[in-house]
Chain A
């Protein structure tokens, strides 16, 4: 949606909450919820005399995120203090990283303009989150909850390689799927475990000099990012066209209004007075650890997608959906193993499986049956032992009982009915019971056949082979017409 005459230069700063059990500098839980200020201790409150103790897993997860995004991992790193006063920052400084971030110079690939595009990642570093402020209705008071203070974050800064809202959305989605896949963050933007700020400037196409950039904050969904970028591009073009100058500022996006507003500036230009954190000695990251993390990396979504397309012969659409989460992808692969009809397995998973887990609100690792059971179900249908309708019913029973579909079919006597003489009786009975429909059919309403077959299916509790029923109906109705 970018104007033909202008191009946008966009960079994204993403903060992701790490899925560790404890906070970054103390052993308080990172569990969500909890009454205000009940997941706190003197350390995360920054009380006098307390000291930060860095959580090893935070470093591991940062390394993991770096490896998954093709970054170089530093071997000597430190933390730094970022000094500023704000009520949600208990020490009035945030422990972060300034000039020695754990990861640097990576990239991820997105689909753009019909091909692939590399978006470079400048750096990934670790830092602590702040508490949460809630404001009273009348604005007279603000209430502070420090439960989230000290939750570990990684900040991922991209180079300004993004040129449109579509690309930004694709970048975020790819980043999210990677981080979720490797188990480093659950990346739920609506829950705040993934946050994005946008830096954007606009310039005439071909112009070398960059325009002034603005920063947009308060983007709480991918959709908001998309809309905000487009709105800002328009706004900046508007200013440039009317010979104005775009002001370098931070703006707050209001999704309900579809507009951004200059933020009430906290400080004119913040002087964070970064200096090395003296309470946390600089430390080395061993080759060992990096190798350990590298070798324990699961195959990333892009690679899996390619493999599903080339090895399993699945269409890109299927591959995309099946790799949308690690759990789903792992489940699918187990289900597909040894199956003769991987496409059918894929269909089951993309369709009924995903629908049912959503309806029943269960997680993939809570599904009571084994992934292999899906491939067995597919075999049962392919070998004609049960029909499609029965299969759907069996599938629900698999969710209820966790049982093997073969067992379910045997126990409930759900084998397909394909005895022609038996079915012929049924067909004759249905014809006799539905003279009006039969008459309609004879008059030329061929669609009534479906209704009649349906009735016969009902009589046979869905177990009849619909193809045979179809044949028999045509036979009977045809003979007499």
Chain B
């Protein structure tokens, strides 16, 4: 593997081309053109991607499970459909990867855990059906923190995923496999899930675009639950256009999910307009203060630089204040862990999943299966969640957190009366070294300080690349919008990308 030092800020794992495109040209729109012009066939493209995975993945560790045969079969099917004019989606024939907590019928779905090592769901998640309907080609299931609990993909039972920008560093988490695969060209796009930042964090560390939709925009049916009132599935892509294309395919009501919204959603590609004149952008004072967020100078500078860019492009930037942001981490963790402790109770070795080989009675079957099947971090979180719900502590922690959540939601609402979108950092630092934070749970929880607010308030939020630091590691800019206003953050992101992609690519 070669990291090209002559071009800082550019991941250059190799010089290979796929379909004649270099890795950073590997976008849905570019490939779509080639496919429709018949310059490449879907099976050829799929095979190229599979070959690339075979070459690189033993080093990168993105994939838990590659489904080569099935992918080729499907590629053939989709090509035939295209030939017959039966399918008309921009995603048709484009190979992608799915985070391994998204259920795929007949394909193992492990959730990054030993507990589900042999779990093969007999159903597809709703978003999977949508992508299949759009002619997507599934290459395989990608790595993640166990049960989505983590911010670095280090708690996966299966393997470590490395950051394609620096093999000693984490790709972020919990959708680390998704982001690394897209960054390294092992998938054209991926779906991840975001509960406290799990799409935006790895997107930021790996230099990709990642979007967490408004809570309820995308169905959660088939997403293995971590925290029910925060979880959302979203796209991780190379650029903003691809993000809009994927979002179009997966958004919308699902009768199998009562929390999914019945609201009509717009065509997100219509938001890809290069114009932010008059756009009011709010920057929370609480984000930018060096008050213990642990924010590195390079990250702060990158955000301030983004502000400058937006101002140059005709937007207005104002400071807003959301005081409850100070309490985001405890607020998030109390609610999330409470829900998680209950959501993970079903794993008891009885109906599916890991069953301990050594038990004398039901009690042992259950306890041992759980203790052997779950990793340390998962157990820690289950215990904490049990604590905040238990008798005597419920009012003090859980109920209080629910009320606090309302305070944050109200404050965001007030802020959005003064501005149209809110920007800020995604993570306090760029990608840190593997092993650096894993032994200190609280340090790891603090990684969510900038991303968790959007989950708590159910707001749409994106991470887009906005520069690199002194170590040539990518920095992400976060854009947060009003509920169901993905269009405005997409527009701002698209505009920013258009004016800066060349810029930061060249150092």
Contacts and interface: CB of A to CB of B under 8 A. Distances in A.
A83 interface: yes
B103 A49 contact: yes
A69 B221 CA distance: 38
Interface stretch (B16-24, B43-51, B384-392): B384-392
Interface in B365-391: 366, 386, 389-391
Q: Which of B101, B122, B223, B342 has the most CB of A within 10 A?
A: B342
Nearest to B102: A49
B391 A53 contact: no
Contacts of B116: 48
A52 B345 contact: no
Interface stretch (A89-97, A100-108, A158-166, A302-310): A89-97
Interface string B217-236: 00011111100110000000
A49 B362 contact: no
A275 B362 contact: no
A54 interface: yes
Contacts of B346: 46, 48, 90-92
Interface stretch (A207-215, A278-286, A397-405, A445-453): A278-286
A49 B339 contact: no
B259 interface: yes
Give the dominant DSSP class at A's interface. loop
A38 interface: no
A87 interface: yes
A92 B348 contact: yes
Contacts of A50: 123, 221-222
A87 B361 CA distance: 12
A52 B402 CA distance: 22
B223 A49 contact: yes
Contact of A48 (B119, B228, B391): B119
A466 B221 CA distance: 77
Nearest to B399: A275
Contacts of A276: 402
Interface string A266-295: 000001010110111100000000000000
A271 B390 contact: yes
A312 interface: no
* B interface majority secondary structure: loop
B378 to A, nearest CB: 14
B338 interface: yes
B183 to A, nearest CB: 27
Contacts of B255: 53
Nearest to A82: B342
A279 B366 contact: no
Given A48-B346, A51-B258, A53-B256, A279 B121 contact: no
B394 interface: yes
Contact of A278 (B119, B221, B229, B348): B229
B121 A49 contact: yes
B340 to A, nearest CB: 11
A409 interface: no
A53 B111 CA distance: 24
Nearest to A41: B123
A42 interface: yes
What's the interface size class on B, roughly? 35 or more
Contacts of A439: none
B352 interface: yes
A189 interface: no
Nearest to A279: B228
B389 A91 contact: no
B389 A279 contact: no
Given A90-B346, A280-B258, A48 B121 contact: yes
A278 B228 CA distance: 6
B338 A51 contact: no
Contact of B362 (A46, A87, A278, A281): A87
A93 B259 contact: no
B59 interface: no
B484 interface: no
Given A51-B256, A52-B258, A91 B345 contact: yes
Contacts of B256: 43, 51, 53
Interface string B325-365: 00000000000001100100110101110000000001000
A275 B345 contact: no
Interface string A29-58: 000000000000011011111111110000
A209 B119 CA distance: 56
- B116, B222, B223, B402: which has the most chain A beta carbons within 10 Å? B222
Interface in A281-336: 281
A48 B351 contact: no
Nearest to B116: A48
Contacts of B394: 273, 275
Contacts of A49: 101-103, 109, 121, 123, 125, 220-225
A81 interface: yes
Given A42-B123, A273-B390, A48 B342 contact: no
A142 B342 CA distance: 25
Nearest to B225: A49
B205 interface: no
Contacts of A281: 258-259
Interface of A: 42-43, 45-54, 81, 83, 85, 87, 90-93, 142, 144, 271, 273, 275-276, 278-281
19 contacts: A45-B351, A47-B121, A48-B111, A48-B224, A49-B103, A49-B123, A49-B221, A49-B222, A49-B223, A51-B259, A90-B351, A91-B346, A273-B342, A273-B389, A273-B391, A275-B339, A275-B398, A278-B259, A280-B258
Interface of B: 101-103, 109, 111, 116, 119, 121-123, 125, 220-225, 228-229, 255-259, 338-339, 342, 345-346, 348, 350-352, 362, 366, 386, 389-391, 394, 398, 402
Q: Which 4 A-B pairs have the closest CB atoms?
A: A92-B345, A278-B228, A273-B389, A278-B229
